[in-house]
Amino acid sequence: MCYDSRVKIGRKGDDKLKNKGTTAVENVYQSMKVLWKEYPATRWQIPLSIIVSVGKPFLVMAIPSLAIAAITEGSICGYIAKMFGALFLVGLLEILDQILQGRLSFSEVLVRMRIFMPQLVCKGLTIRYDKVETQQGQKKMQEAAYSLAGDNCGAEQLMHKTPELIVKTAGLFVYGTAVFVLDVRIICVMLVMCILDIVLRNHAIQYGDATWNERSEVNRQMRYIRNAAVEQSTGKDIRLYHLSPWFCEMFDALIRREKKVNQKNQLRWYFPTIGDQCCIVLRDIIAYSILISQVAAGAVSPAVFTLYLGIIAEFSDWFYGVSENVFAIQKASREHDHYREVMDYKEPKQGETVLSESREEPLEIVFEHVSFRYEGAESDSIRDLDLTIRAGEKVAVVGNNGAGKTTLVKLLCGLYEPAHGRILVNGRDIRELDPEEYKKRVCTIFQDVRLFPFTITSNVCTSEEEKYNPARLWNCLQKAGLREKIEQLPQKEKTYISQVFDENGVLLSGGEMQKLLLARAMYKRGGLLLLDEPTSALDPIAESRMYEQYNEISEGKTAVFISHRLASTKFCERIFFLEKGGIAEQGSHDELMEKNGKYRELFEIQSRYYRKQEGGREEC
């Protein structure tokens, strides 16, 4: 079950994954609200930390002034006591500051890890499949994940930098008042420094935003190369085909490209640094001139001179601290926008109709003028399709690659919605049905075999292990032909698949994985069985045996078999030959062979690959 936070993240949603943008103030408020809700102690820890952070530097600056006053005025004993008192207080404040900062940082990390990250994961698992399947959807999810990748970005950065900004602002006010009393010209120089810093930093940030997509794309490609280099599925090909030099060259090229982009970005940040240093020199010249003239005139003592130098230097730090934190918060806010963009996505209104209490009831499926086009495609994958599958009927959908077979399966699963037309299930529009209830009735085996690195029980039952039915599980494994294999394992059905979570996990062969998926489909007991070329990686003999099992488990169900191997679909009652997203021919195998059309032509081409030489004669 997905994590259900006590704090709702996000504003009123939208039905598209698009960036509507929010202000930094909104994002700061939302992030701090979550922090205060989950860890109420931060409500007093943050104000106390602000007081300590502002007061501690003043005590540190006062110590040299006390030492100079003791030397110049000759009352060393009295000033020594004050100095030791100040040093002791500074030590206590330092300890308190470290404790507060440690607790606040720990709370911020926990909020990111326990609140924001689980909610993003769960949201990603529940968003409509067609929204996250596209390249644009994948990019949006990756950007949202990046905003939670560490403590220097997104929500955690907002929670960390906001109190720091308050500290810098409070210090700026306190120390600015002292500088203003000394001479207003220093404040004027500081204002010029601030304006120049803001202009130059804003220029650098705008360039960074303009190159964000390019840097994001480079990082995505580098991440793919890194993952592919260590993944088990690609390791064999890399070694056998000597692809490692190509991978290394590609990675080096991406590193050079990243370096070039980052160098241009970094160059923009040199200008604020140079401008700041020039202003600091001007500030020091003015400050020293004013203070030295006042000391010479006897207006201030050497001790006060020393204190004011420290205040002016600290005032500059507060000034730049405010500027740096404002820009850090703006950057973190833009990153947090990616997170909120995903979290604010609102699913279109979904149906609530439940077909019947029995999930095993076979379903009648009717396509009425259904069309579907992938995002960015120039033509429809499914075009004005009319199709009827009677309840309890076994049908096959065949055709060449790209004919629209897999798209048809995803429409049947409810993963896609028709762009035009409608799909009726037992006479009801599929959009009127409760999507979760409908999916419970659909048993699907796709051509790309994917097992999760969990236990065999979890992979078959697809639910919490303590809720599974052991007798039903073993019965399904028996029918799938895996029971004997699993009973020989030390942990039996509790054995993990692969070594991702358990070093004693088992690796299954391609045929064994197919059987496990077959057991999963049987365990689910849905009324609609969809098989999308699940035997494409098997040899003809193994495929024939597997289809015999599929034929057996499909009894009493509506079954749709998708295949590009026409010989494997003879046992189906009807066959639909798909071409360019529409039905070119339909009928039983014998009827289609008699028509002498495209089905027969493709069947005879394929059959040549399964002939044997017997006594100089070729026989099917």
- What DSSP designation does 23 have? -
> What CATH number is associated with residue 568?
3.40.50.300
Burial of 326 from C-beta contacts in 10 A (0-12 / 13-18 / 19+):
middle
Q: Tell me, yes or no, whether 355 lies in a domain.
A: no
Q: Could you tell me how far CA 195 lies from the centroid of its own chain? A: 38
Q: How far is it, in rounded angstroms, from Cα 277 to Cα 275?
A: 6
* Residues 6+ away with beta carbon under 8 Å from 234: 228
Give pLDDT, residue 618: 41
Q: Are residues 596 and 519 in the same domain?
A: yes
Start-end of H helices in 112-153: 117-126, 129-133, 135-146
Q: Domain end: 484, 507, 530, which one?
A: 507
Q: Are residues 213 and 66 in the same domain?
A: yes
Are residues 158 and 332 in contact, defined by beta-carbon separation less than 8 angstroms? Answer: yes
Q: What phi, psi does 219 have (nearest 5°)? A: -65, -35
Give pLDDT, residue 232: 66
Q: Are residues 462 and 326 in the same domain?
A: no
- What DSSP designation does 183 have? -
Q: Tell me, yes or no, whether 67 lies in a domain.
A: yes
Are residues 20 and 138 in contact, defined by beta-carbon separation less than 8 angstroms? Answer: no
Give pLDDT, residue 36: 92
Q: Are residues 544 and 408 in the same domain?
A: yes
Q: Tell me, yes or no, whether 180 lies in a domain.
A: yes
Q: Are residues 551 and 481 in the same domain?
A: no
Instruction: Specify the pairing of strand 582-587 against strand 574-579.
Output: antiparallel
Q: Tell me, yes or no, whether 615 lies in a domain.
A: no
| Rounded mean pLDDT for each run of 10 residues along the chain, 620 residues in total | 39 49 83 91 90 81 71 67 78 89 90 90 84 81 86 88 88 76 71 75 75 76 78 70 77 83 79 75 76 76 74 74 84 88 82 75 90 84 89 87 84 88 89 86 81 85 70 86 86 85 82 84 85 68 68 81 75 86 87 86 74 42
Strand order in the sheet with 365-372: 382-389, 365-372, 420-425, 428-429
Q: Tell me, yes or no, whether 135 lies in a domain.
A: yes
Q: Tell me, yes or no, whether 58 lies in a domain.
A: yes
Q: How far is it, in rounded angstroms, from Cα 613 to Cα 393?
A: 37
Q: Are residues 516 and 528 in the same domain?
A: yes
Q: Domain end: 277, 310, 343, which one?
A: 343
Q: Are residues 515 and 476 in the same domain?
A: no
Q: How far is it, in rounded angstroms, from Cα 452 to Cα 493?
A: 14
Nearest CA to 593 out of 618, 567, 565, 561 is that of 567
Are residues 486 and 477 in contact, defined by beta-carbon separation less than 8 angstroms? Answer: yes
Q: Could you tell me how far CA 337 lies from the centroid of its own chain? A: 13
Q: How far is it, in rounded angstroms, from Cα 245 to Cα 248?
A: 5
Q: Are residues 520 and 403 in the same domain?
A: yes
Q: Tell me, yes or no, whether 350 lies in a domain.
A: no
Q: How many domains does the chain have?
A: 3
Give pLDDT, residue 367: 92
- What DSSP designation does 467 have? G
Q: Domain end: 473, 507, 541, which one?
A: 507
Q: How far is it, in rounded angstroms, from Cα 143 to Cα 416?
A: 24
pTM strictly above 0.95: no
Q: How far is it, in rounded angstroms, from Cα 486 to Cα 332?
A: 50
Q: Are residues 296 and 235 in the same domain?
A: yes
Q: How far is it, in rounded angstroms, from Cα 78 to Cα 53?
A: 28
Q: How far is it, in rounded angstroms, from Cα 620 to Cα 615?
A: 14
- Domain residues for the domain of 188 are 24-343
Q: Are residues 462 and 439 in the same domain?
A: no
CA R_g for the chain: 35
> What CATH number is associated with residue 59?
1.20.1560.10
Are residues 261 and 218 in contact, defined by beta-carbon separation less than 8 angstroms? Answer: yes
